Amino acid sequence: MTEKRDFLTLSDLGRDGLLSLLERSEELKRLRGAPSHPRPLAGKTVAVLFEKASTRTRISFEVGIAELGAHPLTLVSRDLQIGRGESIEDTARLLSRYVHAIAYRTFGHDRVESLAKNASIPVINALTDLHHPLQLLADLMAVRAATGGRLEGVKVAWIGDGNNVAHSWIEAAGLVGLDLALACPPAHRPHGSIVAAAAATGRGRVTIVESPDEAVRGANVVTTDVWASMGQEGETDERKRAFAGYSVTVARMKLAAAGAIFLHCLPAHRGEEVEAAVIDGPASRVWDEAENRLHTQKALLERLVMGVR
């Protein structure tokens, strides 16, 4: 019997696993719609459990699971007993008897860890407050497309909140050798332990700065996220004040390297974290990035469910 594997952070793949998964994602993108597209999950069911709202995660999983031949089972917590207090542990044990994998979009990272610990089937982190590794798979695929397959040494500028997506960028830097500069207000910097873990790999570089211009100067990739994530709506006004001056503007993009691309995990608030002329302009790769969620998640499901190395 194949050992169960989970995907809770990028580090669960390791460097070689991450790179090979990106290569498989690119192959599945080329095969999409072709008679030769694999359907390795035929006859299986994958549950996608939501405690947070979703557009890209829900659609990309439902479409991708179906294209792999499986049945997508979308579950919203408010409609389930977990929404009335049934434990995560019992939910994990129950779903393990019905389906072949679970993707879980939730709040605290401890919740997805508990689900994985108590499930006998693969569990995928579809977003927690601490990490968003699925987004980074899509982002790295977009970077490879822009650099001819190169990741090591690529200079990336993150502008804004040191949030879950920023944490996964930091992990990526340590795995594949990115030169990552994060410009964050002092009160919104990423977790020091995550930065330290990336530094301990001995690959890449992670620098925390206050000046967005300093981070962007010479960057090959400029990326950002909304200033107030899900669950932080009550902090919107405070965050607008804290992040004033942290917008990705046309003028700021001119500081980046020639041919630099812009990424955003979406949804975007034009006029706040990014100017419309940037996200809708020639440097933007946000729609390729969003599409990549489909291809990378298919590759991930194939690997975890079928035990592909």
Active site residues: 105, 132, 135, 225, 265, 293
**8 Å CB contact between 185 and 212:** no
Structure tokens at 11: 């580090």
Sign of the alpha-carbon dihedral angle for 218, 264, 206, 294: negative
What are the strands, taking DSSP E only, across 93-220?
101-105, 123-125, 155-159, 179-183, 205-209
Could you give the CA distance from residue 167 to residue 22 in angstroms, rounded to a whole number? 19
Phi, psi of 285 (to 5 degrees): -125, 25
Location of structure tokens 């207000």: 185
H helices of 162-243, where? Answer: 164-176, 192-200, 212-216, 236-242
